[in-house]
């Protein structure tokens, strides 16, 4: 009896070790390179180098489908976030400040929720956070989820961590991508520069 228990425990431990090795391998071979590559992305050097993201689609809170192309003539800041993301919650006041600063300019701020269930969690979250004074949307069509916080928002780009901020120029071209917190001044400076182009 004792030998069977020892064998059972050994088998369970072996399965857990193999599972941990598999998860670690997936993270270090698939997820970590995406995060590293995403953090290296920044501001393209010139307007000519900017890729078009005009076809990126989203659904606004009213259920209407839009594309970045519909906002042509405006500088667009897309804040990619999720309801489960603590740092996203921490960044809300900074995004509100940015919206307040440019409220009388041709700037559109969109909080792009990437929870994998669309509006199901986003709408209750927004009711608890009435301070959010900028548009909130979900990607449309629904994006490919590579892992809980890894999502491909074609043609806007891959998101390796949330929050991620995309800044789009007046012509619908990607002018900058900023991963995680700490880029508020860079985003503000880029928005101001794009408004003067």
Architecture of the domain defined by 42-195? 3-Layer(aba) Sandwich (3.40)
* Domains in the chain: boundaries: 1-40, 42-195
Query: Is beta strand 107-113 parallel, antiparallel or unpaired with respect to 135-139?
Result: parallel
- Inter-CA distances, 64 with 57, 58, 120, 140, 144, Å: 11, 8, 16, 10, 21
Mean pLDDT, residues 2-23 taken together? 75
pLDDT in tens, 82-125: 999 999 999 999 999 999 999 999 999 999 999 988 899 999 99
């Amino acid at each position: 009896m004792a030998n069977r228990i020892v064998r059972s425990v050994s088998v369970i431990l072996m399965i857990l070790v193999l599972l941990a090795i598999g998860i670690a391998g997936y993270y270090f071979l698939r997820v970590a390179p995406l995060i590293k590559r995403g953090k290296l992305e920044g501001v393209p050097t010139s307007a000519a180098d900017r890729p078009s993201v005009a076809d990126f689609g989203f659904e606004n809170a009213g259920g209407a489908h839009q594309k970045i192309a519909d906002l042509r003539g405006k500088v667009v800041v897309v804040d990619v976030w999720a309801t489960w993301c603590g740092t996203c919650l921490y960044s809300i006041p900074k995004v509100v400040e940015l919206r307040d600063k440019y409220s009388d300019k041709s700037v559109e701020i969109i909080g792009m929720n990437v929870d994998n269930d669309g509006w199901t969690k986003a709408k209750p979250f927004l009711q608890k956070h009435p301070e959010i004074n900028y548009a909130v949307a979900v990607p449309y069509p629904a994006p490919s989820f590579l892992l809980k916080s890894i999502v491909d928002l074609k043609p806007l780009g891959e998101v390796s961590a949330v929050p991620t901020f995309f800044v789009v120029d007046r012509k619908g071209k990607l002018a900058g991508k900023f991963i995680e917190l700490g880029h508020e001044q860079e985003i503000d400076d880029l928005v101001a520069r794009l408004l003067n182009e």
